[in-house]
Amino acid sequence: MPRHYKRKTETKYKIEDLRHALEELRNKKLTLSQAVIKYHVPKTTLLKQLKQNEFKIPKKGRSAVFNKEQEIQLEKYILDCCKSFYGVTPNSLRRIAFRFAEANKLKHSFNKESQLAGKDWYYGFMSRHPSISLRIPEATSLNRITAFNAAEVNLFFEHLKTIQTKHNIPGHRIFNIDETGISTVQKNYKILAPKGLEQIAKATSGERGVPTTVVCAVSATGIYVPPMFIFKRKRMNQLLTKGGNSVIIVTVSESGWINESIFQDY
């Protein structure tokens, strides 16, 4: 949960006092030391305001570690890592922020012992960059990552277009086939339970699921092929088709996943 810090101390001067002090300084009615004593405004605040062309209400609290451009660089780095399938965790971001500040010799109050930026900085960074959110990633194999890229996809569609044009293949003869895995163990959702219990259980068909694969195929014109169910077994049993209709296809494999021979049969 993000923490909302509430300031415990307030400035000893009012904004109107700061305006009056600056006006008298610019009109040379007071010296810098006299303005500090009369209006109780810090000397550094007056000097900073005098250097600016326009009056700006001074920000309370510490100065930001990174400027706007540097935070945009951090945001871009996070998005690039996500696109490359190597996401940045909250702890990784805090470590990167510390090293980024050290490399640029920026003044910061990060923990030098743990070499991490603080949690308050992390929550503040997330609030300043609403385009980034904390998500649970889907596990993706390296084989799929290396095979699925812009060059390979473009090459596939170029070949598809060439073959379709050459043989004049109609849309009802072009099929998209995909598979999905179904576990025999249901996914648990959050439940209401008494406070103080160290462990809460919920009944399922098993603690470790057995994979079952379902293969589906649909043509470009909306025609579908009956689905095929692949159960994890060595031998086929007709009881596996019990409760199903007459058009579904049922088969078995040792792993529960599809293989080359089953694909050809389908």
Q: What is the pLDDT along the chain (266 residues), one digit of tens a residue?
A: 445 555 555 566 788 888 888 888 888 888 888 888 888 888 888 888 788 777 766 666 567 889 999 999 999 999 988 888 888 999 999 999 999 999 999 989 899 999 999 999 999 999 999 889 888 887 777 777 777 778 888 998 999 899 999 999 988 888 999 998 887 766 666 666 566 666 666 665 555 667 889 999 999 899 999 999 999 888 888 888 888 888 888 999 988 888 889 999 88
Cα distances from 165 to residues 95, 172, 173, 262, in angstroms, run 54, 15, 13, 30
At 132, which amino acid appears?
I
- In angstroms, what CA-CA distances link 176 with 3, 56, 170, 220? 48, 61, 14, 8
- Same domain membership, residue 240 and residue 176: yes
Count up the domains in the chain and report the number.
Answer: 4
Q: Which two tokens stand for residue 137?
A: 């990633």
Question: Residue 206: its pLDDT value, please?
Answer: 57
Same domain, 49 and 124: no
Instruction: Map residue 228 onto helix, strand or coil.
Output: strand
At residue 30, the pLDDT reads 84
In a domain, 196, yes or no: no
Is residue 145 in some structural domain? yes
H or E, element range at 165: helix 150-167
> In this structure, is residue 212 part of a structural domain?
yes
Distance, CA of 45 to CA of 30 (rounded, Å): 16
For residue 91, give the nearest of 110, 73, 117 by alpha carbon: 117
Residue pair 88/117 in contact by the 8 Å Cβ criterion: no
Q: State whether 175 and 261 are in the same domain.
A: yes
Instruction: Name the DSSP letter for residue 109.
Output: -
Give the model's pLDDT for residue 95: 94
All residues at 6 or more sequence positions from 38 whose CB lies less than 8 Å from its CB, including other chains:
21, 30
Q: Please indicate, yes or no, if residue 217 is contained in any of the structural domains.
A: yes
Range of the domain at 81: 68-128
Q: Are residues 88 and 175 in the same domain?
A: no
Q: Would residue 265 count as lying in a domain?
A: yes
Q: What is the pLDDT of residue 15?
A: 82
- Distances in Å between the Cα of 156 and the Cα atoms of 88, 159, 160, 203 are 31, 5, 6, 46
Q: How far is Cα 64 from Cα 108, in angstroms, rounded to an integer? A: 8
Instruction: Tell me how far apart the alpha carbons of residues 243 and 29 are, in angstroms, rounded to a whole number.
Output: 96
Residue 98, domain member (yes or no): yes
Tokens of 111: 């923990």
